[in-house]
Every structure is written in structure tokens, then in C-alpha cells.
Amino acid sequence: MNHDIHLIVNGEAYLLSVPAHHTLLQVLREQLVLTGTKNGCEAGECGACAVLVKWPGADHAEPVNSCMVLAPEADGAEIVTIEGLAHDEQLDPLQEAFITTGATQCGFCTPGILVNARALLDRTPDPSETEIREALVGNLCRCTGYVRIIDAIEMAARAGREVAR
Amino acid sequence: MTRDQESGARSQESASSFQLPASNRKHSLIGTSPQRIEGRAKVTGAATYVDDMQFGPNLLHGMLKHSPIPHGIIVRIDVSKARALPGVRVVVTGEDFPGYTGLYLKDRRIFALDRVRYVGDTIAAVAADTPEIAQQAVDLIEVEFEPLPGVFDPEFGASPEAPLIHPELGNYEAVPFIFPQPGTNVSNWMKVRKGDMDKGWAEADLVYEHKYRVPHIQHVPLETHVCVAQQDVNGKITLWSSSQSPFAQRNLIAKALHISHSKLRVITPYVGGGFGCKAGVSMEGAAVALAMNAKGRPVKLRMTREEEFYTTFVRQGLVAIIKMGMTQEGRITAVHNRFYWDGGASTEYGTNITRAAGYSGTGPYYVPNIHIDSLCVYTNHPVGGAMRGFGMPEIHWGIEQHIDQMAEKLGLDPVQVRLINCLKDGDETLTGMIMHPTGLSQCIQKAAEAIGWTSPPAPLLEGEGSHKRRGKGLAAMWKAPAMPPNPGSSAIVRMNEDGTATVSIGGVDIGQGALTAMAQLAAEGLGVKIEDVRVNTVDTDYSPYEWQTVASRLTWSMGNAVLQAAENAKLQILQTVAEAWNEDINDLDIIDGQVVSYRSEESRSLRDIAVYGMQRPDGTWIGGPVLGRGNFMPEYVTPLDPETGQGPRAVVHFTTGCQAVEVEVDEETGEVQVLKIVSAYDVGRAINPDMVRTQMEGGAVQGMSTALLEGIILQNGVPRNPNFTDYRIATAVDAPLELESIIVEVPQDDGPFGARGVGEHPMVPTAPAIANAVYNAVGIRIDSMPITSEKVWRELAKTRP
Amino acid sequence: MQPFDYLIPKDHAEASALLAAGGGSVRPFMGGTDFLIRARGGFIRPQSVVDLKVLPGMREIRQSPDGWLVIGAACTMNQVAAHPLVLAGYDLLAQACNSVASYQLRNRATIGGNCCNASPAADTAPALFCLDAVAETYGPAGARRIPIADFFVGPGRSALQLGEFLTAIHLPPAPTGACGAFNKLGRTKLGDISAVSVAVYAWEHDTETPRRDWRIALGAVGPTPLRAPEAEAALAADASPQGVQRAAELTAAAARPIDDIRASAAYRRAMVAVLARRGIEAVLAGIARAGLQAVPFGGVPAGSVSPTGVLREGRPEQMIGGAA
């Protein structure tokens, strides 16, 4: 019951044989050893496994919880995980802002939040605080109380606007 | 006594009797806020947690068979079908490992043997080639029970009518400060008796009693419990464990499985949150038991989110009956408190929580006449363990609401009542300890000021005529590190060829920032830049001993050890240089990695010295690889009298603080929106102020989440909400609109640079502060957590005609 | 999770045949947000799943020649909520879709899955009840159309028969002056399963009279989502402040709630009245605003009625943007 699928993950193409009942999360973590994407609940509730997926035919990537995608479904998809957020040692402004503001503590929720925040800023470069909070409602964090995460996303949005200017 | 004097007293065994002069302390890094040293690893996904480690295709997948019933005799366990399933490599049960284990009271087995005591009790474990096969094997294990009546309420459990959950309690081994009551369900009875209760009631103008309830809470680390165990050909076992307590795990598991400590190695990489649940041992023993039968293959055991909710540690429930006497002026005359702790099926860890509740049972107030009973009661509920606050959030829920109720009945301002009674330097605490200098009064004043205590609430978001009401509330707290009298810390600072330093510690960074704080202390003590300090995560084969990462003790205790080790390394370096340069060591210093002489103005990089030593004028060499060592253990904690709880020094110290909140309550739906939380804590000295504030922020929101949303719903012992769908925790939308954190610094005499811990404290008073603010807003008092919308609505409905 | 296979059907007929042949052991699969939780928990042990979203039309939103809006069953919540045709005429449905779980889950969860699970708490259901939606299905006997109220049969039970699956939701043309509001109450402020939800919808009866027709539908307070016809009729007759209060009470009377771990029946019933009143008031305010602005369809701007009740301020239309 294995299926062959094509995936592009962080710009690299893969041809993989995946069990039908495995999730995209399992493929990323177990087969590709991209372990930055975390397993927090396997029920779509915590957001620790969020990745960006550009489905075949879609014009842009969207965040999904990778525990909620069956591996064979992802055939042909382009995926960005936390490992693909930085380019050539250059951190994403969100990653810089998370370090600067102290928005990460234990760090387990951080990859999913960063990926989801990247998607937020891609579709809404200048989000209000309310929009940031609502966009994060599916990303649980038990350490920080969220305030610095919100600050970091605001900081990265400002940085992004300055680059755009 | 200053810290410097005391470190002098402690360092007799260090490299020399010479001590660095106090003026040598520059404090250039202390009180600054360098960024988290592992920040880059965490934001790039590079930080490795246990489940991220790779063990290859040989890895076996473990799974546990849990009891589906809350209480019963195990009549029969049949694992033959499971063993026969292809791909199943190991099946173990209690017969294979019958011994007892536990941290403070040995009342627990790795696998249930003769009876199960809660839904989720571990009966057997399997290891198989795939998780799918492991699950099938677990399903094939047949267990026949003879159900027993259960205990689901601690007050009932403490009564003579209750069925006994541990008939063997009298035979269990306990530490000397835990007092089990054989023939009952009470596994610890902590008593505090002081003064004259009759006199205390007689002096009071108001005596008032009220009952408060706290449900079981789950810690909800984003990373669930996970470990991998493997045995090598020599019989040595390595356990990779997401743990707050690598050394305590080594100790407890080695003893339980009758293996030598030197044959068990625990490695803890990054940990995805703990909050107490990864202290001690929960499921790790089962993984080791599987590995001992796995013929050298590694075995992974990872709790699902559902398992995490009720088969690992939970925070104990509490029924608190609080009775207080107060004069017209607001002075507390007497306190009679009864704490019935819902300890669950095992109280190996929880007994010490109930002890902490005893010796802290008045809250942070001076009370002359005291009668406190703190009872740890076995129930057929999940196993209680440590959680952030260690009993303090639970007892302060009642105490801090009670203060407000007393104040209101007497027509007094609750802030003033707290200021009158709060413990001050030199006051005697409930156990007879003399209170050290503390900034509690300052914290109360600053929190009240920051919330605008004396001014009316801010205007409503929705304007006049709205069905929303605003209110403010406040609560104070205290908490001591709750631990045995002699928990030790140690540290090693090793110099590298390039002049950088590697710090080895046994404490774990569970997100609180310990690695960074230790890097600061080491850099400060040694005289190097923080970028030139690396701090290792824990491997018990190479890291020095640390008791546990609990009790908010690392900055204070492990910090002392790290600072001492760094200073010890510095001393060794300077002794070498002094001899090589023929100078007085008092004229030498290390600044930013350069040894400098204030007399000759010579300087030399550590790179040239720290490993290779130095050449004397005559051409010979002196020095060699520098290895600094430090250790710390409090040597002054005294036992308490078992009948009165009295003794000169119950604990090492208390961190104190206060929180003030403003809420908005929807009178139609009962919804509570927390607008602002102000936290003010006396941290002694903030080594890294920004990280201190992150602890205050995170603690406040965790406290708010438990206050408004959380509780494991147990119906006849069956958890009804073991998932994120129905155990809701606060999201970014629920978090307060504003958080303000105030650092108060009244130095701790034996803390590094005066520091004391603050990791747990910020969630202690949040819930009662919110309850007080809800009362202030709409005039209803919610005495059982959580303050759900429905409870607020129901109480409001009662007040309407 | 125990092994199962993943099947891609070549057409509707094959999908139906696979489902029919498998009995309960071959499961329909679209967004997977409910299926994966149940499969992982061992509550269902399928032999295989049939991915229905690959079938033609399943992920499309289009206007039919007769003016109806046709939403493919496998359209995600975000896709529905951001679609211009939905926003133009069926803002009530967009509000409901946006109230479900989290942004990233709404990229997986489908409108059809929300209906097929037949949870009484399905958040799109009250909106679909108000909008007089019709479910289109495909099965061994071919296609059929089922009014949405008949599609929900009981808790977890839909009208689908063996081998039959939902293909689309059809919405009749939006009437003149239509305006809707969806409100829900959970334990957390956003993203929770509804303990109570209420959709309110009104439109102009005709252009000659000032009379309006109303729809009120409720979630999580009965074995299925349900309407409150007496409240609807009362409002049509009297939408004064007293009339609104009376309608809210009649709505609560229509609820058939139970006690569970999320809320008690008493609280649910009381909250139905509160949310109904708030929804009616929001719709009346929306109508008044629309009158001033002379918007043809009179829809309330998306998100102006907040599912959270607090915190919502400004630019909500940006937050729902996104999926395709």
C-alpha cells in the first residue's frame, strides 16, 4: 500500500515511496529527516507541525498542519518547512525578530508559528495586532504567553515594509 | 553575611586558599540581557529534541497497555497473543519488574502488579518493529479485572469509610519528612501548630470560613513525554530522555531496576517544555525495562497527546477549607486551614507538594496563631506530580480570595490588608523561621500602582450601556524552593585552546533560559565575553551532578556552582600568570579574554595560556589545561517537628510577589476577558532582566489559562477531555491585551550576585487575582476553578430577581 | 494509525462503486481533519479511503446559469470564505466558515466534510439552513438533491446512503437586501467547537412593502442544527426592540439542548437567546447601514459581526484572504 510521490521540499525535488496511511508530517520527519517540523498533537489542534504547501496548480503556498495531510495526497506539492525559511544563512526577518524579542522559550512551538507567521505576512504585509492574534489561534504556546511572539511578528512586518520601501 | 564572605567559607577545597578580592567583580554582564544563546538553533528548526534524534531502522517502537478502569484487582494478564504477533520483540509486565519506586515515598511500580489504581495505570509494555504493530500488540493483551469501589474525592478519601487504595502503605519506604498514615488513604499529614487558637479567635472581630476547590490541571508541554532507551553489549543502558531531571531519573530507575548508577546513562538534549511534568520519572522506567529485553535494539516510547493528559503526571486537585480571624483594623489573628489534596493513585512526588503547602499554608502573611493540616490523599485519579508553583497556585487560590472576602466584610481595602499583614524582614513565619529581607511590600505597592488600583477602571471598549463590566483584582504570593534539605548542584568550566570556555552543568534548559543565564555567570566569573562561553546540555556520563531542574532553583543553586567554577578557573589561570610574570596575583585580572596586569600593564590572551600554560623566565613551563570546579548545597535547612511543623529554618528562602489584573466581564454570557496583568516579583537580582520578564509574562498567561479554562474532567475516574479539543488552553486571542512586568531586587544573601528564582512564581497568584477582579467587576465570587463563562453566568443569574 | 490504502477514483461512478463495495470499511476522504483524528484514535479502522476532492467540480465555486451558487463539497473553509461570489451574496456563510478552528486548519477542512460529519455543532450548518441550501449528492442511483435540513438526520448521521457522497452545496440566488450574522460561543474566544451557535438572516420580502423575511438557525443545541420558525415569523411581524427580545426568547424555546462537558443545557438555552438577540440586532444594524450606503445586496461587510465579541477591530477583510 505504498505510493510513489513527487515532492519539492525547500527547493529540493524528491521521489518517495510512502505508505498510504502516513501523514505528511511523518514523511517530512521520518523519511526526509526534516525534524524541525514538530509533532505536538497529531490532531490539527496545536500547529507545531505547520508547513507551507503549494498544491499542484495553485499560485501560492498556504499553511497547513502537516499531521492533517495524507502522504499520497501531497504528490506534486511544493513544501516549505522551517528548515527552508532561511536562505543562504540569511535568516528570515521573522526568525531574526523572534531572537531579538525573545519570542522563543522551549522552542517546540516556534517552527510552526514561524511558518504560519510567514504565510500571514505574505498575504497581509501590515497586519493589525488583532489579525496577528487571530492568525495564531491554531498555534499553541505554553511558555511565552504569546506577547513576544506578537511583538516579533509586528517587528518583522515593519522590517519587511522597510525593505519594500 | 555577603555572598563573597560565604563563598569564602565554602571554597576551602578549591585550588588555593586565596580568594579573588570582591573588587574584582565587575558585574558587566550581570543585569544585562544578552539574547538566548540557543535562539538561532530554535528558530531554524536545528535544535534537536529527543524525538528528532535518529536511531536508524533498528529502532523499536514502544507502547503501553493502560488500565481502562479506575480501581480493581488484576485477576489475569495474558500476553501470549501479543508475543505471538510477528514484529513484536518485547512484552514486559509487572511480574518482570515487581519493585517499588518513588521520589519521596516508594508507593509506585513501573507496571501494575496486583491491582490498578487509575484509568491509565500502566499494566504492560510492548516493543515492536513499527508503531502499527505495537498498537496491535497492545490491543491483543488480555487483562481480566475484579473491579473495586473507587475514591474520587479527597475529603471522602480521608474519611474512615473510604476503601483503601494502598493497603500496604505502612510498609512503604518514605523520606524522614513525609508522614504516611498506615491504614488510611493519607500518604502524608503535614501539621503546623503555633500560638493559641482560642486567643486568636478571641482577638478577631471577624472569623470567616470558606471552602475552595481546584481541579486537576495538565502541564501541556508542547513536546509530550518521549524517551529512547538502549542497552549495549556490556549491559550499560543509555536513556535519551525529555526530562527536567536526568540525574533523578538515573537514580530512581537504577534503584527500581536494580542496576548500578554507572550502568545507566541519561542524555537530555533540548526539552520542549516541562512545567514540572518532566521532573522525576513517569514512563521512562518502562522504556528502560523494554530496552533491557530488546537485545541491544533502541526502544522509543513517546506519549501521544491523549496519553500525556492522564498517564503522565498531572497537577493535584485540592479542596481547601480556610478559616481566618481578623481584627477591625485588618490584622490577621488566626488561621485554621485544612488542605485535602487529591493526590491520585500514587503520591511518590505529590507528598512533598502537600508538605510545601503545609509550611507555606498561611500565604505570605504574619499570623500569630496557626493550625494547619495538609493531607495528601490517595484517590483513583491520575498521578499527581510537580507543576509550576508546586502547590502554591492551589493554596493561594483560596487564601488570596479569602483575604479579599475578609477585607470586604470589614470594609477594608484589600491592598492595605495585604500590606499590614505581609511578611517583612525579621518576621517569624508560620514554621518559626525568621523571614529574610524581602521586597513583598514593594511588589504589592508597585503592582497596585501599575494597575491603577485607586482609580476607576478604564472606559469600556463598547461604551456606555454595554452589558460588560470592568473590575480590578490583586493577589500576593510566596513560594520557597520545595526540595529535600540537601539538593546539590555542581559545575565544571573547561578552558579550550582558543581561550573559550565550555561549561558543563546537570540542569536542563526547559525554555526558561538556564543556558543563557549560566553563560552570563560563567563569562562574568571568568572574565570572558559571553560569545566565548558554550554551555552543554546534559549527559550524566559527562555532566556534573544536579539534583533536578525544579523549584525555580537553577539560577540560585546551579548559578552558584557555575560562578564558583568560573572563578576557580580564573584563579588557576591568574596563579599561573602571576608565577610566570613574577607578579602579585592581586594586580592581575581577566578582561574580555585577556589577562591583564594593572601594575605592569602587560596583557596576554587566554588563548596562549588556558591549555598550554606559560613559560617561566627560566624557560620551564607552568600551568596546563584549566578545569574549574564549583559546587553548592544549602547546609542550613533544619528538620521540622512532626507534630507542630516548627523549626528554625524550614526552607532556603522565599521568592515573593504580587499580581494585579483588570478584567472585563460580559454579564450576558459570563465571558471574562483579561485586559491587563501586572506582575511584580522580588527576584533578588535579575541576572538577565529580559528573561526574568519572559518568565513573568509566560507564567501570567499560563496562570490565566488555568484560571479561566482548564481542568481535567474526571467522571468516576474516567478522564473525559484528554485532548486539545476539550482541554482548551489559552490561545493568542485569549492572552491579555497588555502585560506589564516589574522587577524588584532585594538581594538574596546566598544567591549569585543576590539572585533568587522566579520561574514558577508568576503563575501562582494569577488565578485568585482574576477571581478577585471578577468579583470587583460583577459582584460574584467563583470559589472553584476554572472561572468558566458558564459559572459566571450561573452565579450572576442567582443574583437577578 | 493502522494501515489503510489511499484510492484516487477516476470518476464519480467509480468513487460511488468503491464506497458501496467497501461497506463501512472504505471511507470517503476530503480534507481529512475529522477522519484522521478518528482513524488515529482507533474509532474507525478503514481498509482504504477514496479521495473525493480529485473529482471534477469538487473544488470549484461557480454560479449556475439559473443564478444559484454551486460550491463544490471539497472546497476548503478558507476558499469559501474568501471567494468573491460568496462575499458578494452570502457573507453569512463566509462568517461561519471563518469561525471554524484555525486558519491553517481551514486550509484543510471542507464545507462538505463539515456537513457530512453531521455534527450538530457544525458551524457552517446554521448559515446553510438560513440560506436554504440544497445538498447535491451522487450515489448508486445517480445524483439527487436534498434540502439541507433533511441532509442532517441525527448526531453524526446524514442522509447519505451507502455508496453515496456529497458533491456540492447549492445556494439559491441571494435575495434583495439580504443581511446575515453568525455568532458562536466556545470556551476559548476563537476557534473552539461551538457550545452554541446562532445564524440570523433577513432579506426584503418584496420591493413594494417594508416587510422582511427572517431566518434563524441554531447549532449545538439539538440532535441536528435546527431552525426557529416561530421566532422567524414573530420577527417578520415585529422587529421593534420588544419584538427582537420576544424573537430571541422564541429562539431559545426552539432549542433542544443537552448537558455535556462543553456546556449545560440551561446555559446553552440561555445563550441561544443572547446570541439570537445580538445576531438580530447586528442584522438590523447592517440593514440600516446598507440602506444608507445603498449597497445592492445589502450584505454586511465580512467580519463586522465578531465571533469573539471582543478584540475585533478593523480590516477583517484582509484576514480572510487566502486560499485557492
pLDDT, one tens digit per residue, over B611-628 is 999 999 899 999 999 999
**Longest pairwise C-alpha distance within chain B:** 99
SS3 label, residue B567 = helix
Residues 6+ apart with CB under 8 A from C188: A137, B709, B728, B730, B731, B733, B734
A106 interaction partners in chain B (CB closer than 8 Å)? 221-223, 270-274, 510-511
Q: Grid coordinates standing for B126? A: 510492548
Task: From B346, B407, B408, B419, select the one nearest B376 (Cα to Cα).
Answer: B346
Q: Are B253 and B284 in contact (CB under 8 A)?
A: yes
User: Is A82 an interface residue toward B (CB < 8 Å)?
Assistant: yes
B723-762 residues touching A, CB cutoff 8 A? 723-725, 729-733, 735-736, 739
Q: Answer whether B50-148+225-302 and B394-483+642-799 agree in fold.
A: no
Tell me how far apart the alpha carbons of residues C165 and C16 are, in angstroms, rounded to a whole number: 7
Peptide bond connecting C65 to the previous residue in cis, omega within 30 degrees of 0: no
Q: Are B697 and B759 in contact (CB under 8 A)?
A: no
User: Is B130 an interface residue toward A (CB < 8 Å)?
Assistant: no
What per-residue confidence (pLDDT) applies to C211? Answer: 85
What per-residue confidence (pLDDT) applies to A88? Answer: 84
C127-136 pLDDT tens trace: 999 999 999 9
For domain B50-148+225-302, give the fold: Aldehyde Oxidoreductase; domain 3 (3.90.1170)
Q: Are B780 and B672 in contact (CB under 8 A)?
A: no
Within a 10 A sphere around the Cβ of B328, how many other Cβ atoms? 11
Share of chain C above pLDDT 70, in %: 90
B691 interaction partners in chain A (CB closer than 8 Å)? 102
**Burial of C112 from C-beta contacts in 10 A (0-12 / 13-18 / 19+):** buried
What per-residue confidence (pLDDT) applies to C318? Answer: 30
Contact C189 B669 (CB under 8 A): no
Tell me how far apart the alpha carbons of residues C312 and C304 are, in angstroms, rounded to a whole number: 8
Tell me how far apart the alpha carbons of residues C215 and C233 are, in angstroms, rounded to a whole number: 9
What per-residue confidence (pLDDT) applies to B261? Answer: 96
Length of chain A: 165
Tell me how far apart the alpha carbons of residues B323 and B490 are, in angstroms, rounded to a whole number: 43
C15-51 pLDDT tens trace: 999 999 999 999 999 999 999 999 999 999 999 999 9
- Given a cut of 50, the residues of chain B with pLDDT beneath it are 1-18, 22-23
Tell me how far apart the alpha carbons of residues B84 and C183 are, in angstroms, rounded to a whole number: 55
For the segment(s) B3-30+487-632, the CATH number from 3.40.50.10490, 3.90.660.20, 3.40.309.10, 3.30.365.10 is: 3.30.365.10
Query: What is the identity of the amino acid at B594?
Result: Q
Q: Are C254 and C219 in contact (CB under 8 A)?
A: no
Find the residue in C nearest to A61 (Cα): C323
For domain C179-305, give the fold: Enolase-like; domain 1 (3.30.390)
Within a 10 A sphere around the Cβ of B484, how many other Cβ atoms? 15
Tell me how far apart the alpha carbons of residues B461 and B288 are, in angstroms, rounded to a whole number: 56
DSSP B184: S
Distance from CA of A91 to the nearest CA of C (A): 23
C312 interaction partners in chain A (CB closer than 8 Å)? 130
| Helix (H) / strand (E) containing C152 | strand C152-154
Q: Are A37 and A82 in contact (CB under 8 A)?
A: yes
User: Is A87 an interface residue toward B (CB < 8 Å)?
Assistant: no
CATH dotted code for C1-55: 3.30.43.10
DSSP codes joined into one string, B665-713: EETTT--EEEEEEEEEEE-SS-SSHHHHHHHHHHHHHHHHHHHHT----
Q: Are C171 and C133 in contact (CB under 8 A)?
A: yes
Tell me how far apart the alpha carbons of residues B679 and B450 are, in angstroms, rounded to a whole number: 9
Inform me whether the pLDDT recorded for C164 exceeds 60: yes
Q: Are B414 and B772 in contact (CB under 8 A)?
A: yes
| Helix (H) / strand (E) containing B19 | none
| Distances B744 to B364, B426, B439, B656, B692 between C-alpha atoms, Å | 16, 19, 7, 10, 11
C186 interaction partners in chain B (CB closer than 8 Å)? 728
Q: Grid coordinates standing for B369? A: 496563631
When pLDDT is averaged across residues A147-161 and rounded to a whole number, the result is 96
Contact partners of C by the rule of 3+ C-beta pairs under 8 A? A, B
Q: CA angle B435-B438-B440, nearest 5°?
A: 115
What per-residue confidence (pLDDT) applies to B779? Answer: 97
Residues 6+ apart with CB under 8 A from C203: C174, C175, C176, C177, C178, C179, C212, C213, C298
Report the sign of the C-alpha dihedral through residues B415, B420, B422, B424, in that order: positive
Q: Are B57 and B125 in contact (CB under 8 A)?
A: no
Domain residue ranges of chain A, discontinuous segments joined by +: 2-84, 93-164
Tell me how far apart the alpha carbons of residues C207 and B431 are, in angstroms, rounded to a whole number: 81
Tell me how far apart the alpha carbons of residues B220 and B260 are, in angstroms, rounded to a whole number: 33
Task: From B617, B616, B588, B621, select the one nearest B602 (Cα to Cα).
Answer: B588
Contact C274 B734 (CB under 8 A): no
C37 interaction partners in chain A (CB closer than 8 Å)? 43-44
SS3 label, residue B597 = strand
Contact C51 A47 (CB under 8 A): no
Q: How far is CA C235 from the centre of its chain?
A: 22
Inform me whether the pLDDT recorded for C304 exceeds 90: no
**Longest pairwise C-alpha distance within chain C:** 62
B222 interaction partners in chain A (CB closer than 8 Å)? 38, 40, 46, 48, 106, 108-109, 140-142
SS3 label, residue B462 = coil
Q: Are C199 and C232 in contact (CB under 8 A)?
A: no
Tell me how far apart the alpha carbons of residues B227 and B301 are, in angstroms, rounded to a whole number: 5
DSSP count for chain B of H helices, then E strands: 18, 33
When pLDDT is averaged across residues C83-105 and rounded to a whole number, the result is 97
| Helix (H) / strand (E) containing B578 | helix B559-581
For the segment(s) A2-84, the CATH number from 3.30.365.10, 3.10.20.30, 1.10.150.130, 3.40.190.10 is: 3.10.20.30
For domain A93-164, give the fold: DNA polymerase; domain 1 (1.10.150)
Contact B669 C185 (CB under 8 A): yes
Out of C3, C107, C321, closest to residue A64 by CB: C107
Domain residue ranges of chain C, discontinuous segments joined by +: 1-55, 179-305
User: Is A109 an interface residue toward B (CB < 8 Å)?
Assistant: yes
When computed from its CA atoms, the radius of gyration of chain C, rounded to whole angstroms, is 19
Active site residues of B: 760
Say which residue the cell 521586597 belongs to: B439
For the segment(s) B394-483+642-799, the CATH number from 2.30.30.40, 3.30.365.10, 1.20.120.1760, 3.40.50.300 is: 3.30.365.10
What per-residue confidence (pLDDT) applies to A121? Answer: 98
**Burial of B9 from C-beta contacts in 10 A (0-12 / 13-18 / 19+):** exposed
What per-residue confidence (pLDDT) applies to C296? Answer: 39
Contact C263 B790 (CB under 8 A): yes
Distance from CA of B508 to the nearest CA of A (A): 11
**Beta strand B299-302 pairing with B226-231:** antiparallel
